[in-house]
Structure formats: structure tokens, C-alpha cells
Amino acid sequence: MLALGRGTPSGRAGKVQVSSCGLPLMTATGLARRQPDHHNEPKQQMLAESYRTRAAVFALLVGPPRHLDRRTGMEIHAQVCDAIGVDDIVFKYQREHAQGPGERPFSIELTHERSPGLLQVSISGSAQSGAPVTLRFRYDSPASTQLVLDDFDLACNAVLSGLGAGWQSVLAEARLQGQVHSPGDSALAFLSNHVLNLAESSDGTGRALSFLGFKYEIPAAEFTEADQLENPMREIAVEVLRADPRCLYLEAMSQWPQVTATPDGTVEIAPGKIRAFRSPPSDYLRNVQRYLESVVFPLLVRED
């Protein structure tokens, strides 16, 4: 169940891409402009209560680009073990194949099998490529959402401490992959008849659909000094869960760039226009969860 509080639906318009076997792509706007539908609150609550997290991901891009050696990786490994309170995290350091002269690509991977679940921490980069170093935290099949939030905060703080001073974050990304039980026990029928208003056969062949889903994106917009997590880029995908056709698969990703381009593509570098990354991973993931509750669930059960 998503029980971490409600957010405010975004008023920005987005583009929707609808995909299925043989179906053309369609577009629509104004998804997040709908007023709250109190009539459908029981259905929204049902979706929230049946929600189960399949995986959670948090990533940071940090700079300046630099090479991390095995010794630094081992120090980070020790700090993560201490932070989480375990000593059986698997450590792997690898020098990747260089794509150009002077490059020193590397990857550090930490893996810890929980019961249930799998926690993975990876650090990768190439000192000469000009690209930031990527810090990535992934949790598959977690026992609870709170466990994800706690472990990500502890692991991220340990990694940043192990890296030392002189680093600057330039982008943050949080992603949730989950599932909800579909009303009527058929996700395909629910999406085609209720959400997308499509006929059972929509490609002109007379054959019934076997899979259906839709995806929409909303660009990042301006934020305020008081709320650095405001108005990230959103990418939402909803489709039939192939492993269990009674359920819907949901994937929600939000991305916070350090600077945001205006609609004409200009980027303003000025005080108040550069996003700060002061929050722990749990705050970014909670932001994604609130968006699911306040925008995506109402979208799925709306009645026009």
C-alpha cells in the first residue's frame, strides 16, 4: 500500500503514447488537469491498497569526471557494510574496455541478498570521457517500501562519504516498478474498455488484442528555492502485467536535472535557477509515490 502521504497533481500537460499489438500511436493532452473525482475515491483506494513494489531504483550523476581505483571501491564497500549493518555484501571491481584514447572506464558493484529481495549498489564512470560518475541503487522484490527507503538512505550516505569531498551532483533520478490488481480481474479488459475506450479488436483484422499499454511523459519545469523537488521530468508507463494478466504493471520515473531548459530550449544559469540536491533518496522516491497516488491512480479510474 502507498501510505506515504498525498501530493498535489501537476497542472502541466503531457503527451500520451498508446501501444498494443498492431495499434497506432495516439496522443492526448491535459492528463493532469482533471479535478479530483470523489466518486471514484473507493476505486483509487483499492488500487493503492493492492499496490506492490516489484523494484525501486535511485540514481545520482556526480562530477567532476574522475577514475576510482579498486582501493577506493573497497573503502566504499566497507562503509556500506557498516551503514547497513551486514558483512556479506559481495564486492566486484572491474576495469571496462576503453572506447577511446586515454579513457579509464571502471565499475564497482556491491550486491547483497536479502530475505526476500536483492540490493545492488553500482558506481561507474570513465575519467576521460567527460561524463559524470553514475551512482545507482536498485532494490528488487523488497519486503516493504520502508526497507527500500531506509537502505537507500544509508547506502547512499555511505557511498558519498566514501567518495570524499569535492563532488557535485548534477542529476537525480527515482524509479518505481510495481503492480496493482485490476478491477474486474482482467487488466486487458480494464485498459481497453475503461481507460482507453478501445474496441476489443482495433487494428482492422478482427483479432482480439493480446496486450495493451500506454505511456506518457511530462518535461521538467521551473522549481522554487523552497521546494527543490518540484516539477521534475515525469515518465509513466502502464500496461498489462504479462506474468499475471489480472494485474497492471506500473513504472513511474522522475528525473531532477540541475538546470531546466525553457520551452524554446534555452538554459538559464543564474541564482535560483540551479537545482540543489540536498535531499536523501527516500524523499525522491516518496515524491514518485505521491505522484502515483495523486495523478496516476485517479487517471486510471476516472469516469468522463
pLDDT in tens, 33-62: 445 455 567 777 888 889 999 999 999 999
Q: What is the dihedral of CA 39, 40, 42, 43, to 10 degrees?
A: 160
More confident residue, 206 or 78: 78
What's the whole-number mean pLDDT along residues 233-246? 97
| Spatial distance between the Cα atoms of 216 and 58, rounded to a whole number of angstroms | 20
At 80, list the grid cell: 556500506
User: What would the pLDDT profile of 60-118 be if each residue is shown by its tens digit?
Assistant: 999 988 889 999 999 999 999 999 999 999 999 998 766 665 567 899 999 999 888 99
At 139, give phi and psi (nearest 5°).
-130, 115
State mean pLDDT over 248-257: 97
Please report, for the chain, the start and end positions of each structural domain, with discontinuous segments joined by +: 11-31+38-55+172-279+290-304, 65-166
- For 270, the grid coordinates are 543564474
Give me 203's grid cell.
Answer: 487494428
**What average pLDDT does the segment 246-264 reach?**
88
Top pLDDT among 197 and 25 is at 197
**Number of helices followed by number of strands (H, E) in the chain:** 6, 10
> Cell numbers at residue 42, please?
473507493
For position 34, what pLDDT does the model report? 43
Q: Which of 8-12, 115-119, 152-156, 169-173 is predicted least confidently? A: 8-12
Q: Is residue 126 a contact partner of residue 103, using CB atoms and an 8 Å limit?
A: yes
Report how far apart, in Å, the C-alpha atoms of 197 and of each of 6, 87, 124, 191 are. 28, 53, 44, 8
Question: Is 232 in contact with 222 (CB distance < 8 Å)?
Answer: no
Is the pLDDT at 12 greater than 60, yes or no?
no
Task: Name the H helices within 85-211.
Answer: 145-163, 187-189
CB 113 within 8 A of CB 250: no
Peptide bond into 64 cis (omega under 30): yes
Count of CB atoms within 10 A of residue 253's CB? Answer: 18
**Region at 272 (left for phi over 0; alpha for psi -120 to 50; beta for the rest):** left
Mean pLDDT calculated for residue range 234-240: 98
For the chain, the straight-line distance linking the first and the last C-alpha, in angstroms and rounded, comes to 26
Task: Give the Cα-Cα-Cα angle 9, 15, 16 (nearest 5 degrees).
Answer: 95
